[in-house]
Amino acid sequence: MSAPLLPRPDQALHDRVLTELGMDHASVPIPAPAHRVPLPSRLATADLAWASVASVASVAGISAELDPDRIALSYRSDRLLTVDDTAPSVWSPYSGFWRSRDGWVRTHGNYRHHAEALLRGLGITDLDAISSAFAERTSTEAATAISSEGGLAVVVSTERPAEDAALRRTPLLDVRGVEGPGRAPLAPEIPLPLSPVRALPLSGIRVLDLTRVIAGPVCTRTLALLGADVLRIDPPHLPEAEWQHFDTGHGKRSALLDARSSEMHALLAQADVVVLGYRPAALDRLGFSPEVLAERYPGLVIAQLSAWGVDHPERAGFDSLVQAESGIALVESADGDRPGALPAQALDHSAGYLLAASVVALLERRRRDGGTWQVRTSLRRIAAELLGMPRNAEPAPERDVDPAPHTAHFAIGGRRLATARPALPGLDFRAPHEWGADQPRW
């Protein structure tokens, strides 16, 4: 008797996502890609990317065929980006792998305040001394010293199968109806506005974007692509890198505002969705925890993303750091010594698409059942999912892809911008606005 056929890894992940979102996955199977998504790695990065984008297409009712090449270039959008025909430098010299006395440390210093904290933690004043400063310390000593100063550094670790298996027993997308601490009643049914264009299911939906750095912005960029009115709010004291905003700011307005201001609460009162990308503890201090938001603004759909999960509320992080600490970097090592990396910031991009799928599904659930809804996930939870998927013995050869048909061009404030076109078929991005150029109002 032959063994039953197991579902494709991408199909299995897609089905799990739809089940967690309360949908019948049997009614929306995803076809196999025409060829593998060209994101070659030992881990199942291609399957993760295909399933993540397909999940958005499924919940948004997009039936057009997905393009594996388009998905790969979208996941690597920073490599396609040019501003005035020049590719920006996307990694700071303070970000990378550093050999320590007993292994490796991964740092992230793209933001100036993180780079300055790294130097303070190591007790040095310039980049020239950084290699020797790491070589003098163990990995744990270096990472602890940097973190204690507010910098970002992790020990590059081997994978921990028992920890990953425990994480995989928790929801990938933790969905729940939320009532605030005062047990405010759940909102009555709030209809999802009918779109005048069938391809734009979120027309009329207001999304407040409180996120930074790839994952959250990819989520809200996708919601804008689906027709939502997305307003991104940033703190005035924390400038964003221009290239990073241009890479993920498509279709959104951008404004600067103190989160504690009355204007912020006015925006929340009129929003349908808020997407949160800051550390859980920072949100608590601002009074923006999902429970508090649910109590104050019944009917809101609340999407929360963090690097390490709500069990680590004070801990900041980025995709590259989660790859390093979770074991992904050593799995992807080319020589068994120096750590490697996934072929894209795949944890970030996948988190963005999966959160976007969740928002679309929960807006429909709110339309049908009423209520206030929350979904949360983390880069670490997605890393555990990837580490549990079937692996490749060796990465596939790199596939040459002509970027021309997958590139969009915009003129923004006298600048020429070239960016990746959307992974979702049949839709095109609207141009990003300049960072902070809009007023904080709907």
Q: Report the CATH number that the domain containing residue 412 is assigned in CATH.
A: 3.40.50.10540
Rounded to an integer, the average pLDDT of 194-206 is 72
Q: pLDDT tens digits for 55-77?
A: 999 999 998 999 999 999 999 99
The residues, ordered by sequence, that sit 6+ positions from 328 with a Cβ below 8 Å of its Cβ are 43, 159, 322, 341, 342, 383, 386, 387
Rounded to an integer, the average pLDDT of 175-202 is 57
Looking at every residue in the chain, the average pLDDT score rounds to 92
Could you tell me if residue 113 is inside a domain? no
Could you tell me if residue 132 is inside a domain? no
Burial class (CB in 10 A: 0-12, 13-18, 19+), 125: exposed
Name the packing angle between helices 112-122 and 139-148 (round to 10°): 120
Could you tell me if residue 162 is inside a domain? no
Could you tell me if residue 99 is inside a domain? no
pLDDT exceeds cutoff 80 at 11: yes
Has this prediction a pTM greater than 0.75?
Answer: yes
Which residue range is the domain that position 50 belongs to?
A: 1-90+171-442
State the pairing for strand pair 82-83/229-234: unpaired
Rounded to an integer, the average pLDDT of 283-287 is 89
Could you tell me if residue 117 is inside a domain? no
Burial class (CB in 10 A: 0-12, 13-18, 19+), 21: buried
Length of the chain, in residues = 442
C-alpha dihedral sign at 79, 391, 173, 279: negative
pLDDT band at 291 (very low <50, low <70, confident <90, very high): confident
Could you tell me if residue 66 is inside a domain? yes
Could you tell me if residue 37 is inside a domain? yes
Considering its fold, how many domains does the chain have in total? 1
Could you tell me if residue 215 is inside a domain? yes
